[in-house]
Structure 1
Amino acid sequence: MSGKPRWRRWLAWIAIALLAGPLALILVFRVLPPPVTPLMLIRAVQGEGLRKDWVPLDSIAPVLGHAVIAAEDNLFCAQALGFDFRALRGEAEAWLEGERPRGASTITMQTAKNLLLWPGRDPLRKVIEAWLTPQVALLWPKRRVLEVYLNIVEFGPGTYGAEAAARAFFGKPASGLTRREAARLAAVLPSPLNWSAARPSDFVLRRAATIERRMGQLGPLLDCAR
């Protein structure tokens, strides 16, 4: 009987650590570059290598942020909590009707996932991602979310972030990316291990062209990335 309160104290401390640990990391990474992410470590163990080079957002051509928003999350600048609730409602309706959900992941959700979690679609990871996303959205300004995302996202096998991708695929720094090159980088994000910005298939080129057109249509929805 005497050991029961002790176990409760241990469980309480574990619960506090699980809740406070990610929050502390989110606060730290609001100002400091993340040294590595779980995905980077997993891919390195799988033999993909690790190429990354952190640069501030001002050293990344603005067209890349615009292209990523056009490709991944048109309402990024307008979201308060990091979720696209209309897309999530559509996901729920599709699931209830027996259809396969198409995905409603926002840039903020992907940043939280890439920064702190493992890859995959298991329910536990999705629940934790949903818990972390509003914390990132509330504690970081939009430009910081975009800066971290563009520096840690996977653009190809073993290639992470805008600077490493620009140099690997186009032989130039991220600050020198053109509108077309930015669209090609954004086009491969859904499947960076299978699609290439350097040697794009016809499908990737068509997708990149669509992204370029959308970039010109978003107008004020790109204001936070200017």
Structure 2
Amino acid sequence: MISRPAPARRVRWLRILFRLIGGFVLLSLFLVLIYRFVPPPVTLTMLFDPNGISKDWTSLDKIDPDMARAAIAAEDSRFCSHHGFDAVAIAQALRHNASGGRIRGGSTISQQTAKNVFLFQGGGFLRKGFEAWFTLLIEAIWGKRRIMEVYLNVAETGIGTYGVQAGAIRYFHHGAGQLTRAEAARIAAVLPLPKKRAAIAPSGFTRRYGNSVAARIGVVQRDGLDSCVQ
């Protein structure tokens, strides 16, 4: 029996690897291009949610501007000035985590959108690598306004609830276009832990955090930190 020479086997596996990488790059580019214009129909997080899916895609024009400001105030104050990754926030998170206590992340709204739309929760460094790739793509192809629009429509805002429109109806019984500043701040305060926090009659940390976000919304508007989405 004649065995294939080791160099030939390596070349064969390299060709397969390059084809897989090329296929992934083409598929990811295709999806990002499609979602630049078409709302993502469903995400992996939604599909694996045992509580079902409640969502209602709403264009950014029909969402109260204070909701985007609240997201920026709560999640990513440099959203309009970075290119997908906030080096300052990452450095601060590393210093905080090294000191112990509650783990803090440094993810931007762009990174969270990439994860929510194209990937899955958890996954460690491998998922982070894919997240970085998709973050670069959506920053280059979608732009900030589309990123914010998608984020506000796919982010989990409650148990089995996705997007600020569904969240506004769930909590306040009206659409996202009629949100008050306090209501927008409460939804933003829920975003990091939507299964454990509620925007109705919040207490403890959620209430304090919501009040803090509401106060910062005015700062975001005054300093033009939301200029890229207006």
State the TM-score, normalizing by the size of structure 1: 0.91
C-alpha separation in 1, matches of 2:89 and 2:164: 27
2:63 equivalent in structure 1: 60
More deviation, 23-32/98-107: 98-107
Offset of residue 37 of structure 1: 0.6
Residues 66 and 225, structure 1, Cα contact 8 Å, conserved in 2: no
Out of 153, 156, 161, the position equivalent to 1:154 is 156
2:144 equivalent in structure 1: 142
1:19 equivalent in structure 2: 25
C-alpha separation in 2, matches of 1:99 and 1:134: 31
Offset of residue 75 of structure 1: 0.5
Supply the AA of the counterpart residue of 1:131.
Answer: W
C-alpha separation in 2, matches of 1:222 and 1:62: 9
Identity of aligned residues (%): 43
C-alpha separation in 1, matches of 2:81 and 2:187: 23
Supply the AA of the counterpart residue of 2:45.
Answer: L
Residues 63 and 179, structure 1, Cα contact 8 Å, conserved in 2: yes
Q: 1:172 to 1:98 in 2, by over 3 A?
A: closer
Q: CA RMSD in A?
A: 1.9
C-alpha separation in 2, matches of 1:124 and 1:28: 24
Supply the AA of the counterpart residue of 1:107.
Answer: I
1:224 equivalent in structure 2: 228
| Structure 2: stretches of 5+ with no match in the other structure | none
Offset of residue 9 of structure 1: 3.3
1:105 equivalent in structure 2: 107
Offset of residue 98 of structure 1: 6.3
Matched, 1:73 2:76: yes
Out of 15, 28, 34, the position equivalent to 2:40 is 34
Q: 1:15 to 1:208 in 2, by over 3 A?
A: same
C-alpha separation in 1, matches of 2:23 and 2:70: 38
